[in-house]
Structure 1
């Protein structure tokens, strides 16, 4: 139970993997040390992305200093074949690898984006060519949309999926995870702590480990966090009464505050990308305040400030979130940062 085979890829690894977002927030020395320490402890799967600023570079520097050979997954936001091919070449250089085990189409959020990457000249065809040339071994897809992942599973194009899964976001256990297991598709779990919302990592990780056939990716940047997560992984995964009380308390606190990123609230008349505005605080907690300066996010905040509180999103939200209130509060919070 401590190991998992990632479906038809045949890759067999420990069920606790190294998430590469946090290593961009610390010094390069600390980042490299964290990667090396995780490998020493026994982690053998690392996930990163082209968009995680310095993450690939720092992971590559760590890999150059060890004889250990973990499985490596990375991903790209590029939607066209030629563009993603360029990213594959950059990833190989930054990670200092001759081949990347899993290359993923990153954050495919809508049916339109899915059609774009799988159409002629789309990112998927670019990855197929890269696989034929021996630059990558397997092709995956990541999404916050369960509908998109179901479509991907139905089409049988991808060898792995990456899905949000935690006790705050358990919906994947209903259809996506069972379908992936039935189709022998590898399952990478992202955000087992719901992007930093869940502070008690022990109960959250044990909850996620309770679903066989999944690889759980936890982002870490320090020896302390690595030890904490690894000790949970090595111990019993049975939830204690205290664990259940912690889970229940966290759920009660965030059930009416936490955006599950389903996008059922869209379209917004003001063009607001609601899930990103609602999740901004945890996003910045993970990515660092510098992410607010990216042009895409600057435009997002401009639109958020123009929210007319029409309430259309509230009528569509299956979780009953007071969306305009949260948008207003997060806009105020963002302004207080003076960035």
Structure 2
């Protein structure tokens, strides 16, 4: 397995990690077996979150007797210090650990949210306090908003960033280069574009070719994925000409209806968080997380079904996506 330095941390992480979101739909025994097998295949970085149902709990049970073999990352949507303090304690209990290697501010989706979590009584303060107490070791930040992470990497607040990257979503490449210059670790989420990319091997090989990437975390819920993913991290086979042409063709095909979550379509007059609707649809249709996605979709005060088809979003989209039609599909999906 190839191991890379995770930014300014002292962690050497397997270039292929373990994305923990899909194990929530597995039986406990199956999830534990997957994680233990992944460790045996050389994978040593696992990512989860407070919001991933029982993912933390399953990981905690799997870690018994092998905690020192793993670098555990989790994250919280808490925006204030009290909420973050509570989530840290829950994570420690769930993960059955005295300390968490990397705790991340989760889905910081705008400058306003960034200012909130970093400001007085914000969630970042609770992370710093927990770090001083030894409850967490390093602090990171995740976002789908390029501008937020461009701000974050010019500070000394974070050891890592987490951002989507795949053959369709390549707008973060300059961000990753600058992060490496600043000695900040780069964690890649959505390597298969939320399940839209079916050629998993090619997609992962494309990502690990980028020297600015520290670790990529494909979601794992099947034993075959453990062996295939670990093999990619071990063999490091460059893409050939034909494979690159195939990926370029796939990129063009997906480009017609795939949301990159750049946010240029916003603000919506109805206050719909348009990119979030497509993200939830992906979890429902491609990740086989229907119950989890429905709960989050219904929990929104304003949903895709509230679209009045005014069309103001579409001229702003740099990819010319048929957003109104796509929102209508999301609404139908969650009826």
- Shorter-chain TM-score category? over 0.9
Correspondence 1:220-235 to 2 at 5 A:
220-235=220-235
Could you say if the C-alpha distance between residues 211 and 292 of structure 1 is closer, same or farther in structure 2, counting changes exceeding 3 Å? closer
User: Alpha-carbon deviation of 1:83?
Assistant: 1.1
SS in 2 for 1:169: coil
Structure 2: segments with no counterpart, 5+ residues: none
Aligned to 1:208: 207
Aligned to 2:283: 283
User: Alpha-carbon deviation of 1:319?
Assistant: 1.0
User: Alpha-carbon deviation of 1:22?
Assistant: 1.1
> Alpha carbon RMSD of aligned pairs, Å?
1.6
1:106-151: CA deviations, max 9, x gaps? 0000100000000011011100000000000000000000100011
The normalised TM-score by structure 2 is: 0.95
Aligned to 2:100: 100
SS in 1 for 2:126: helix
User: Alpha-carbon deviation of 1:67?
Assistant: 6.1
CA contact (8 A) 1:207 1:237 kept: no
Deviates more, 1:267-276 or 1:100-109: 267-276
Deviates more, 1:321-330 or 1:125-134: 321-330
SS in 2 for 1:73: strand
Q: State the alpha-carbon separation in 1 of the partners of residues 280 and 210 from structure 2.
A: 29
Matched, 1:309 2:319: no
Aligned to 1:83: 83
Aligned to 1:151: 151
Q: State the alpha-carbon separation in 2 of the partners of residues 65 and 30 from structure 1.
A: 17
User: Alpha-carbon deviation of 1:292?
Assistant: 3.7
Aligned to 2:259: 259
Q: State the alpha-carbon separation in 1 of the partners of residues 278 and 19 from structure 2.
A: 23
Matched, 1:136 2:136: yes
Aligned to 2:53: 53
Aligned to 2:178: 179
| Alignment size in residue pairs | 333
1:33-89: CA deviations, max 9, x gaps? 111110111101111100000100000000015365211110000011111111111
Aligned to 2:167: 167
Q: State the alpha-carbon separation in 2 of the partners of residues 246 and 211 from structure 1.
A: 18
The normalised TM-score by structure 1 is: 0.94
Aligned to 2:18: 18
Q: State the alpha-carbon separation in 2 of the partners of residues 327 and 156 from structure 1.
A: 39
Aligned to 1:35: 35
Q: State the alpha-carbon separation in 2 of the partners of residues 213 and 2 from structure 1.
A: 14
Q: State the alpha-carbon separation in 2 of the partners of residues 19 and 292 from structure 1.
A: 17
SS in 1 for 2:141: strand
SS in 1 for 2:194: helix
Deviates more, 1:98-107 or 1:210-219: 210-219
Q: State the alpha-carbon separation in 1 of the partners of residues 333 and 32 from structure 2.
A: 33
Q: State the alpha-carbon separation in 2 of the partners of residues 16 and 140 from structure 1.
A: 18
User: Alpha-carbon deviation of 1:249?
Assistant: 2.6
Could you say if the C-alpha distance between residues 287 and 126 of structure 1 is closer, same or farther in structure 2, counting changes exceeding 3 Å? farther
SS in 2 for 1:219: coil
Matched, 1:272 2:285: no
Q: State the alpha-carbon separation in 2 of the partners of residues 112 and 274 from structure 1.
A: 17
SS in 1 for 2:229: helix
Q: State the alpha-carbon separation in 2 of the partners of residues 301 and 327 from structure 1.
A: 16
Structure 1: segments with no counterpart, 5+ residues: none
